[in-house]
Amino acid sequence: MLLTVATSLVLLAPAASGAQELKPFAPGSLKEIQAARAGRPFVLAFWSLTCTYCHEEFALFSALRKKYPALDIVLVATDTPAESEALSDTLRHYGLEGVESWVFADEFAERLRYDVDPKWGGELPRTYFYASDHGRRAQSGRLDRERLEAWIKQQLGKVPPR
């Protein structure tokens, strides 16, 4: 109970200061994310402040969001709520402050990872591509821009104007 109250206070502080809102990612959060996007494709990306490739992925996401404004990306930091300020700063640095963002809010990260995918061992970056029927494909490691753009075009059903 005390941990829950402390976590809530840490997560609310950025909202009061105008920083990026980071929602607490707890068991069941994935179902909430999926339900909010019923019938719509989206990308779910897990990352950490200490993950070099995650930062490369952020630069790619930022560019693709400009090119494909309808692209729905959800970011989940596997760090702790205590790092909310650094997480918000990182998102702002890459122009991703408008992206729905979450942060692990459970002492047992393994439980959260299992809730997302029992086959996920914690490697980062970890990205899930949800089709409009919510069938999903998982990928660990660096994303290939061409493959990602092909998926986006297929899911969004159009090529954006240049």
Q: Are the C-beta atoms of 61 and 90 separated by less than 8 Å? A: no
Q: What pLDDT is recorded for position 19?
A: 65
**Whole domain around residue 36: which residue ranges?**
2-156
Answer yes or no: is 162 within a domain: no
Total structural domains within the chain:
1
CA–chain centroid gap for 144, Å, is 17
Q: Does 73 fall in a domain?
A: yes
Query: Is residue 133 very low, low, confident or very high in pLDDT (cuts 50, 70, 90)?
Result: confident
Domain CATH code at residue 139: 3.40.30.10
Average pLDDT, integer, range 52-60: 97
Quickly count: other Cβ atoms within 10 Å of residue 9's Cβ: 10
Q: Which residues of 101-118 are buried (b: 16+ CB within 10 A; e: fewer)?
A: bbbbbbeeeeebbebbee
Looking at residue 71, its pLDDT comes to 95
For residue 161, is it within any domain?
A: no
Q: Which of 27, 43, 38 is nearest to 134 (CA)?
A: 38
| pLDDT tens per residue, range 4-13 | 434 444 444 4
Q: Is residue 16 part of a domain?
A: yes
Identify the pLDDT of residue 161. 46
pLDDT at res. 4: 45
